[in-house]
């Protein structure tokens, strides 16, 4: 069975976010499509299966300026 999921974005998270528990919590709680989750190390990671649900709302970018970047993998 082939995977028909097309991923159009990548979310880059600066490593400094991993040690900021409050920012991790804010990102997890604020994303309307649950792209972020707690990692086993206590930081944050993306939920790869939810990336295709991203609405490009920029809530995460606004919550963590310069530390989270939503990268479009297509040409507009």
Give the pTM.
0.85
Strand duo 44-46 + 68-72: pairing: unpaired
Extract the tokens encoding 69. Answer: 């970047």
Q: Is the pLDDT of residue 1 over 50?
A: no
Question: What is the per-residue pLDDT across 28-67, written as a single tens digit (0 to 9) for each?
Answer: 999 999 999 999 999 999 999 999 999 999 999 999 999 9
**69/25 Cα distance (integer angstroms):** 17
Instruction: Note whether 74 and 58 are within 8 A (CB).
Output: no
Burial call 47-62: b when 16+ CB within 10 Å, e when fewer: eeeebeebeeeeebee
- Give domain 9-66's CATH architecture: 2-Layer Sandwich (3.30)
Instruction: Note whether 68 and 27 are within 8 A (CB).
Output: yes
């Amino acid at each position: 069975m082939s995977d028909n999921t097309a991923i159009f974005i990548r979310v880059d998270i600066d490593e400094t976010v991993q040690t900021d528990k409050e920012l991790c919590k804010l990102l997890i709680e604020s994303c309307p499509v649950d792209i972020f989750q707690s990692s086993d190390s206590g930081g944050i990671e993306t939920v790869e299966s939810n990336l295709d649900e991203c609405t490009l709302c920029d809530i995460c970018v606004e919550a963590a300026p310069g530390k989270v970047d939503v990268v479009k993998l297509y040409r507009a």
